[in-house]
Amino acid sequence: SKMTVKAVKMPCTSANVYTKVPDGGWGWTVAFAFFVVEALTYGIIKSFGVFFNDLMESFDETNSRISWIISICVFVQTFTAPLSTVLSNRFGHRLVVMAGGLLVSTGMVIASFARSVVDMYVTIGVLSGLGYCLSFLPTVTILSQYFDKRRSLVTAVASTGECFAVFSFAPAITALKEQIGWRYSMLSVGVLQLGITACGSLLRPIVIREQEEVKAQPPEESTETKYMLENEQTCTSIESIDSGVDITTSPSNVPGKTKAEPKSEEPKQHGQNPVENNSTPPEPKTKLLDFSVMRDYSFICYAFFGLFATLGFFAPSLYIIPLSRSLGIGKDHSAYILSAMAIAEVFGRIFAGWVLNKKPIRKIYIELICVVLLSVALVAFPFASGFWGLMICSVYFGFMLGTVAGTHIPLLAEDDVVGIERMSSAAGVYVFIQSLAGLAGPPLAGVLVDTTKNYSSAFYSCAAGMVLGAVFLALVRPCKTGLCHQQQQQQQVEVEESMAGPPPELPDDFIDMDIGKAENSGKGSDSV
């Protein structure tokens, strides 16, 4: 059956009401908005390295202190994810994303007038970091609500916005710096990020309201026919109507409180409204942050997967150029390796979305295979030698990274994890847990590199984290099936207990009088 939209024409600020998940419609506009938001958030973060040398020269700071600008920004972005969930549930996704766009733009614009690296920590690290969180997470959440069958494919394709942004923004900002300097270039980037606010205005809320079907009641059987059938089954006579059991259920014949009233109230006790009552029950209030997901063992395992897998996301992009330089590869060729990794990530995201869109398929297992192959890619980096060796490893890693990075958050909407109903709260908690690895990962890899004097140790540590993540991801499905089995058993026990009850009380003379009348009629026939 084709889904229908509420017939009333609504302005752009009102909600879209569907009878089922549309898998399209206004969702395509939301997908485009998510593409742009990805480009103006993660795309800018990944392209921020073009300002590093300028900031070190202007503020006379070391590379490590300048690196803390992005580290603080990413940490604030992920650490405040529960706040984003609370605000989205309270004020709606549209207002939160628009406010986040204003914060991102304001932070970047003020940073262009900074006089010290500490000013950058506050403006880009805290202010823009909070704006990134308020912009990205609500957008990907509402996009998942507009799609069901195509959710994986659409989300994966839309998430390639950051990859295309790296291609376009990095050379564009570099060329712009040569013309107007790094401060005015950063100011231009801040003004450009106001586009997030425009994208937020396109995020119409979605309401799924099932059609109410009123079933025609079958015509009531006559009282005599109904009870004749009952007496045939109980081997009693129709004359039992004289035994003191009132079988007349008509209100005109039953004054006051009759015996038929408890039967008429029975559907209401089970939550079934009569057909005449067209009023709909009030909708339950949405929790601002549903912490019940923390009692779900499958979500806990998935959160640990995200915690450890995040350790493997950053190492190649941070250390691939230093590793290539240590192997004697020139600066230009090292940049080609990084660009090839970004191109392969685009194809990886699209491929993962296409595969996960196939039916029937257990998406959590496909994700597990991709994580295992991504672990192999991390282990392969230290064994690569020469330009083409690193190029092959980078392309392979970029492709596998795209399959995981573009799907691990949307997979929260699958029933194997938490489901679409609790995705908003689950995404906030999940990204919050990821922030711990995002903050501790780069310093941990840096300590290992400084201790061993070898960049390979950073890749080994990330591979170890990815393997641990694969172990927890493999436990998600068993935990979910075990938990569902326990819940089904508990519900079955409750249903059996509710159905089991004392037998209905019947008058003492209900059967006796019928038996007596039957004996009398039998004697009369014998005498005849």
Number of structural domains in the chain: 2
- Dihedral of CA 496/502/506/512: which sign? positive
* Residue numbers of the domain that contains 84: 15-210
Distance CA 27, CA 116 (A): 43
Are 151 and 299 in the same domain?
A: no
CB of 455 closer than 8 Å to CB of 323: yes
pLDDT at 252: 41
In what helix (H) or strand (E) does residue 16 lie, and over which residues does it extend?
strand 16-18
Q: Residues 201, 328: one domain?
A: no
Task: Look at residue 93 and tell me if it is in a domain.
Answer: yes
Q: Are 356 and 412 in contact (CB under 8 A)?
A: no
Question: Are the C-beta atoms of 401 and 351 separated by less than 8 Å?
Answer: no
Domain termination residue (choose one: 171, 190, 210): 210
Please tell me the distance from the alpha carbon of residue 475 to that of residue 467, in angstroms, as a whole number: 13
**Three-state secondary structure string covering 156-211:** HHHCCHHHHHHHHHHHHHHHHHHHHHHHHHHHHHHHHCCHHHHHHCCCCCEEECCC
- Whether residue 48 contacts residue 42, with contact meaning beta carbons closer than 8 Å, is answered with no
**What's the pLDDT score for residue 70?**
81
Residues 65 and 197 in one domain: yes
Nearest alpha carbon to residue 153 among 414, 363, 361, 357: 357
* Claim to verify: residue 204 and residue 324 sit in the same structural domain: no
Burial of residue 276 (number of CB atoms within 10 Å: 0-12, 13-18, 19+):
exposed
Number of H helices, E strands in the chain: 21, 2
Judge whether 7 lies within some domain.
Answer: no
Distance CA 111, CA 106 (A): 8
SS3 159: coil
Question: Is residue 218 classed exposed, middle or buried when 0-12, 13-18 and 19+ CB atoms within 10 A define those classes?
Answer: exposed
- Give the tokens for residue 152: 């994986």
Q: What confidence score (pLDDT) does residue 161 get?
A: 87
The structure tokens 């059609």 sit at 211
Asked if residue 508 belongs to a domain, the reply is no
- Predicted local distance difference test score (pLDDT) of residue 218: 53
- Give pTM, 2 decimals: 0.63
Residues 82 and 185 in one domain: yes
Residue 477 φ then ψ, to 5°: -65, -45
What's the pLDDT at 216? 47
| Tokens read off for 300 | 């806990």
175 and 295 both lie in a single domain: no
Instruction: Say how far apart CA 175 and CA 190 lie, in whole Å.
Output: 17
34 within some domain: yes
CA distance 281 to 274: 12
pLDDT at res. 194: 93
pLDDT of residue 185: 92
- For residues 186 and 322, state if they share a domain: no
The whole-angstrom separation of Cα 434 and Cα 307 is 5
**Parallel, antiparallel, or unpaired for β 206-208 and 16-18?**
parallel
Asked if the peptide bond before residue 171 counts as cis, ω within 30 degrees of 0, the response is no
- CA–CA dist 460, 445 (Å, integer): 9
Domain boundary among 153, 179, 210: 210
Going residue by residue through the chain (528 aa), what tens digit of pLDDT does each one get? 444 444 344 444 567 777 777 777 888 999 999 999 999 998 888 888 778 778 888 888 876 688 788 888 888 888 888 888 889 888 888 999 999 999 999 999 999 999 998 999 999 999 999 999 999 888 988 888 888 878 778 888 888 888 888 778 877 888 888 889 999 999 999 999 999 999 999 988 887 776 554 444 555 555 454 444 444 444 444 343 443 334 344 444 444 444 444 444 444 444 344 344 444 445 555 565 666 777 788 888 888 998 888 877 766 777 777 788 788 887 677 777 877 888 888 888 888 888 877 766 788 888 899 999 999 999 998 888 888 988 999 899 989 988 888 778 778 877 778 877 777 778 778 888 887 777 777 777 777 877 888 888 888 888 898 999 999 999 988 887 875 555 556 656 665 666 665 555 555 554 555 555 555 555 555 554
Same domain, 293 and 206: no
CATH at 19: 1.20.1250.20
Instruction: Copy the structure tokens of residue 90.
Output: 């309270």
Distances (CA, A) of 527 to 2, 245, 521: 73, 31, 10
| CB-based contact 31:158 (threshold 8 Å) | yes
DSSP state of 505: P
Alpha-carbon span 49 to 170, nearest angstrom:
8
What is d(CA 237, CA 513) in angstroms, rounded to the nearest whole number?
Answer: 10
- HSE value, Cβ hemisphere, 13 Å, CA-based, for 171: 5
Q: Domain check: are 311 and 400 in the same one?
A: yes
Q: Tell me, what's the pLDDT at 1?
A: 40
- Picking from 181, 210, 239, the residue at the C-terminal end of a domain is 210
Does residue 25 sit within a domain?
A: yes
17 forms beta bridges with 207
Calculated CA dihedral for residues 96, 102, 105, 109, nearest 10 degrees: -150
Tokens coding 191: 């003004």
Taking the C-alpha atoms of residue 31 and residue 9, their distance in angstroms, rounded to an integer, is: 22
Instruction: Give how far the C-alpha of residue 120 lies from the chain's centroid of Cα atoms, to the nearest Å.
Output: 32
Evaluate whether residue 229 is within a structural domain: no
Please answer whether residues 396 and 344 qualify as being in contact, where contact means their C-beta atoms are separated by less than 8 angstroms.
Answer: yes
Write the DSSP string, 449-468: HHHHT-THHHHHHHHHHHHH
- CA–CA distance, 408 with 421 (Å, rounded to integer): 17
Report the distance separating Cα 388 and Cα 372, nearest Å: 23
Q: Please report whether residue 217 resides in a domain.
A: no
Please check whether residue 302 lies inside any domain of the structure.
Answer: yes
Here the tokens at position 170 are 């990095």
Q: Give all strands (DSSP E) within 280-327, no chain letters.
A: none
